[in-house]
Amino acid sequence: MHIHNLYVDADGETHFRDIEVAWAHDGPGGKMSERLPATGVIFRETAADYNLDWHPAPRRQYIVNLDAGVQITVSDGETRTIGAGEVLLVEDVSGRGHLSRSVAGQVRRSIFIPID
């Protein structure tokens, strides 16, 4: 299982990388990671015509898409579509930030899990 990670470098440019989840437990209920810190849960519904210009993330947080995807472009030019059920860790709280927009004109419901 991997997590898309959006981060900022020392020059303020944003990039993607993939983080592999480390499994700490494997039992009858399946594999589990270690417990990770979190400070809350935010539920969000994004309009079908969502198209946000360059912006940094408001905080370090995991974003879990529930029923639709989001297209993210980082300042190095890479664009990824993060689909329903996928996890994104945003850490670009400074610098140029990223672009985000809806996919296929769909309303998107997601969960934000702040970690700071």
CATH number for 60: 2.60.120.10
DSSP string, the chain: -EEEEEEE-TTS-EEEEEEEPPP-EEETTEEE---------EEEEE-TT-EEEEE--SSSEEEEESSS-EEEEETTS-EEEE-TT-EEEE---SSS-EEEEESTT--EEEEEEE--
Kindly indicate the confidence band of residue 8, based on its pLDDT and cuts at 50, 70 and 90.
very high
pLDDT tens digits, 79-91 = 999 999 999 999 9
Structural domain boundaries enclosing 75: 2-114
pTM for the structure as a whole: 0.94
**Is residue 33's pLDDT more than 90?**
yes
pLDDT category at 37 given cuts 50, 70, 90 is very high
User: What pLDDT, on a 0 to 100 scale, did the predictor assign at position 27?
Assistant: 95
Number of domains in the chain: 1
On the question of pLDDT at 116 being above 90, the answer is no
